[in-house]
Amino acid sequence: MDSPPHRPKSPVGRIIAVLIAGLTLYVVLPALLRVISSWPRLSSLSLWWFALALIAEVLSFVCTMALLRLVLRTNDWFAVVTAGLAGNAVTNTLPGGDAVGASVQYRMLEASGIDSVQAGSGLAVSSIIGIAGLFSLPIFALPVLFSGSVSSGLVHAAILGVIGFILIVTLGVVLLTTDRPLRLLGRGLHWLMHKIPRLRHSGNDLPDRLVRERDLVRTDLGKNWWKAILLVAGRIGLDYMSLLAALHATGARPNPSLVLLAYAATAVIALVPITPGGIGIVEASLSGLLVLANVPSSSAVLATLVFRLGSYWLPIIAGGISYVLFRRRYGPMRHADSTS
């Protein structure tokens, strides 16, 4: 029996995403250009602080990959690191790249021999843990919030972070302790996958597989909860230290608690996938919030450039290299046969 003719996907969604990203970039373009145009001043930075900022960012990525390796329950560093960097590069370069980047990372993990449900649940768990960590940051700055010397913009960002932390922790607890929401999610994913020809081979037991995989992840995290906490703290803490080192490289002497609030607010803003990798939005938000944190404007702009070099631009290059290395080891990723 002949398969039904393939219907081309409607471009409306992509057009809307590109338009929104373009409009947002137009609004934040002056701030983005201001940050990028400060690159000649990189020669004025303290070399040691600049190197420390980049080293801290590299170690932050190591913690991210180690956490993913922990929740995936695999010893394969090569597959986890190359898939993670490649997926991150796609996320940071394409409009609406979060979904595409996650798909690339998922397919690479599956191609390396990791079970598909194991890969999907591992990515979801590491994402939830990471987001919960970001939202928890304002809690550590509560003493300075109560001092009364913080600008209203940073106070509002802290309140948003605390609310987000409560919501994401509640979601995590629900998914880890109850079956019904997970089974509903599994049925929804099965329906969605059935609409994609190359994924129709997936069986009808996806809800049960998700529950079983959740139980395995919960058991492993129960044994290694302290490792997960240390790795999340290491990822976020080292990323924050990279920003502090970048500020010190410019000669600024910032208040660490106020910088923590600016960092946390920017991280939460960057979670909204309006532009690829938050480009433009992060530059505008971080440099502006650092000024609210009593950092001189010139230092805030230059430190933002240094921070984004380590957290955005260099990982894109590393992601491209990682994808090439992955292809050399595992070969091209093949789509499943839609007729199977």
Check residue 30 and give its pLDDT: 73
Check residue 5 and give its pLDDT: 47
Please write the tens of the pLDDT for every residue from 55-96: 999 999 999 999 999 888 889 999 999 999 999 999 888 866
Check residue 32 and give its pLDDT: 75
- Is residue 16 domain-resident? no
Check residue 339 and give its pLDDT: 36
- Between 164 and 166, residue with greater pLDDT: 166
Phi-psi bin for 150: left (phi > 0), alpha (psi -120 to 50), beta? beta
- Is residue 33 domain-resident? no
- Is residue 18 domain-resident? no
**Which residues, 6 or more positions from 311, have their beta carbon under 8 angstroms from its beta carbon?**
57, 60, 239, 242
- Is residue 155 domain-resident? yes
Q: How far apart are CA 333 and CA 319, in angstroms?
A: 16
- Is residue 255 domain-resident? yes
- Is residue 218 domain-resident? yes
Confidence of residue 35 (pLDDT cuts 50, 70, 90): confident
Please write the tens of the pLDDT for every residue from 98-148: 778 888 998 999 999 988 878 877 787 788 777 777 777 767 766 666 655
Check residue 6 and give its pLDDT: 46
Tokens of 137: 């940051």
Contact 154, 291 (CB under 8 A): no
**% of the chain with per-residue pLDDT over 70:** 67
Q: Which domain holds residue 326?
A: 51-330
- Is residue 40 domain-resident? no
pTM: 0.77
Mean pLDDT score, 2-16: 52
Check residue 337 and give its pLDDT: 40
Whether the predicted pLDDT of 163 surpasses 70: no
**% of the chain with per-residue pLDDT over 90:** 30
In this structure, of 11-25, 70-84, 221-235, 264-278, the range with the lowest mean pLDDT score is 11-25
The enclosing H or E element of 42 equals none
Residue 155, judged by CB atoms within 10 A of its CB (0-12, 13-18, 19+), counts as middle
- Number of independent structural domains in the chain: 1
Whether the predicted pLDDT of 48 surpasses 80: yes
Contact 80, 109 (CB under 8 A): yes
Q: Give the count of beta carbons closer than 10 Å to the beta carbon of residue 91.
A: 24
> pLDDT averaged over the chain?
78
Q: How far apart are CA 295 and CA 292, in angstroms?
A: 7
Check residue 141 and give its pLDDT: 66
Whether the predicted pLDDT of 202 surpasses 70: no
- Is residue 236 domain-resident? yes
Q: How far is CA 280 from CA 49, 145, 215, 335, in A?
A: 25, 28, 40, 35
In this structure, of 204-218, 229-243, 280-294, the range with the lowest mean pLDDT score is 204-218
Confidence of residue 338 (pLDDT cuts 50, 70, 90): very low
Q: How far apart are CA 198 and CA 110, in angstroms?
A: 14
Mean pLDDT score, 159-178: 65
Check residue 160 and give its pLDDT: 61
DSSP track, 177-215 = H-SHHHHHHHHHHHHHHHTSGGGTTS-TTHHHHHHHHHH
